Amino acid sequence: MVVQIQNVSRSFNAVEALRGINISVPKGSITVLLGPNGAGKTTAIRMITGALNPDRGTVRVFGLDPTTTDGELIRSKCGVVSAKPSLYDRLSGKDNLLYAAELYGIKSGETTTHRIKEAAAQFSIQDSLNLQVGGYSTGMKTRLALARAVLHKPELLLLDEPTSGLDPESAASVLEMVGEMTSQGQTVIMCTHLLLEAEGLADRIVVMEQGETIVDGVPDELSKVFWPNPTAEIVAQNGEDLDAITNFHGVISYNREGNIAQVELENEILLSDIILELSRHNIRLISVKPNKVSLEDLYFRIRKSSDLANSIACSYEEATELIGARQ
């Protein structure tokens, strides 16, 4: 594990920002911290670099404790993009990168110049490097902050809402870059409250709420917890024809609205059997689509379980089972 956070709590006066969170991040993965504003995502990121120390619990990054003198080594291996770009407006883009290069110990001279050019080109800001950052657009600032974060080729990239303020095109290119980074062996931890952003990108998700981790796991595995059986959407020319499906073997549930039916099956292979059977009965099908659980579906299901657990004072696992039973 690159990052291991165990039972970490942190308060600011009377406000408990983190309440015994647990997060594990494997090497080379993209872990997305999901949660509403104030869930504790940014505080968790700050704990990882040692910018903040925990009141209780342990944090280990690359096996080291960031609160000790090892923090310097940890920070030198991390690249951070904060929720606000935290750039020096009076300096040029190049000077901002130069500052980071020197603090992160990139050798001066040609190496620095080369790395600055390379990082700037990666985020398409090479033409604006000599301009004062104060005159940059929000998107340019974010791209400069990203270039600064990858300048020293960090092993762990911590991105706090990296696409906020970006146009859709730039946001897509940032997410593409994040995906590429893990293929090079780097580990990424990304905070977001935009579920679409994390869709297809997250190897692991950590759902946080009010300073607690509700769930930490692989999206597909979590989907199986909430939707243990595969589902599909079948659309026919005449909706009533689809009602025959209820009599088919392996169909767990069937719901139809108009000419669209939702079916829950014992296993995925049964779907082709259903199509064959419907065709044999000369039922004209318009489309058959296996349902894929989106991160949004998963997130809201997790949140629902959490809310239920809070309202009836039971454990999160018990609430999850209860929701499953109600279905």
Partner 1 sequence: MTKDAISKIQWARVMTVARTDLKQLAQAKDFWLPMTILGSLFFIVVPGILLFTIVSIGDVDVVAKISETLEVLPESARSQFKGDSPKGRTGYALSVFLLAPVAVIVPLTISTAVGAATIVGEREKGTGEFLAHSPASAREIYLGKLIASLVPGYITVLVGFGAYSLLVNLIVGPSAGGWFFPTAQWWLMILWVLPPFLAICLSIVLRLSARVSSTAAAQQASGLVSLPLIGIAYSQSTGVLFGAGYLPIVVGALAWIIGFFSLYTGMRSVSRSRLLTVASGV
Check residue 76 for interaction with partner 1 (CB under 8 A).
yes
| Shortest separation between residue 325's beta carbon and partner 1, angstroms | 41
Instruction: Please say whether the beta carbons of 34 and 205 come within 8 A.
Output: yes
Which span (78-86, 170-178, 182-190, 305-313) binds partner 1, by CB under 8 A? Answer: 78-86
Question: Of the two residues 89 and 266, which places its CB atom closer to partner 1 in the complex?
Answer: 89
Question: Of the two residues 81 and 208, which places its CB atom closer to partner 1 in the complex?
Answer: 81
Given candidates 25, 30, 34, 87, which one binds partner 1 under the rule CB under 8 A?
87
- Residues 6 or more apart whose CB falls under 8 angstroms from that of 133 comprise 87, 88, 89, 90, 91, 92, 93, 96, 141, 144
- Angle in degrees, CA 318, 319, 324, rounded to 5: 100
Check residue 55 for interaction with partner 1 (CB under 8 A).
no
| Shortest separation between residue 66's beta carbon and partner 1, angstroms | 10
| Shortest separation between residue 107's beta carbon and partner 1, angstroms | 11
Q: Which residue's entry shows tokens 């990882």?
A: 48
Instruction: Please say whether the beta carbons of 275 and 285 come within 8 A.
Output: yes
Query: What burial letters (b/e) apply to 174-183, b meaning 16+ CB within 10 Å?
Result: bbebbeebbe
Question: Of the two residues 40 and 219, which places its CB atom closer to partner 1 in the complex?
Answer: 40
Check residue 183 for interaction with partner 1 (CB under 8 A).
no
Q: Considering just the CA atoms, what is the radius of gyration of the chain in Å?
A: 24
Which span (44-52, 112-120, 164-172, 293-301) binds partner 1, by CB under 8 A? Answer: 44-52
Which span (67-75, 199-207, 222-230, 246-254) binds partner 1, by CB under 8 A? Answer: 67-75
Question: Of the two residues 49 and 223, which places its CB atom closer to partner 1 in the complex?
Answer: 49
Check residue 75 for interaction with partner 1 (CB under 8 A).
yes
Detail the DSSP E strand segments found in the chain.
Answer: 3-12, 15-25, 30-34, 56-61, 78-81, 156-160, 187-192, 204-209, 212-217, 231-236, 251-257, 260-265, 285-290
The edge-to-edge listing of strands for the beta sheet with 231-236 is 251-257, 260-265, 231-236, 285-290
Would you give the binding string for partner 1 spanning residues 258-287, x where CB under 8 A is met?
A: ------------------------------
Check residue 40 for interaction with partner 1 (CB under 8 A).
no
Instruction: Please say whether the beta carbons of 143 and 115 come within 8 A.
Output: no
Question: Of the two residues 11 and 327, which places its CB atom closer to partner 1 in the complex?
Answer: 11
| Shortest separation between residue 157's beta carbon and partner 1, angstroms | 12
Q: Nearest-CA neighbor of 159 among 10, 31, 17, 294?
A: 31
The first and second tokens of residue 238, run together, are 């005449």
Binding site for partner 1 (CB under 8 A): 11-13, 15, 17, 46, 49-53, 69, 72-73, 75-76, 78, 80, 82, 84-91, 95, 99-100, 102-105, 132, 148, 158
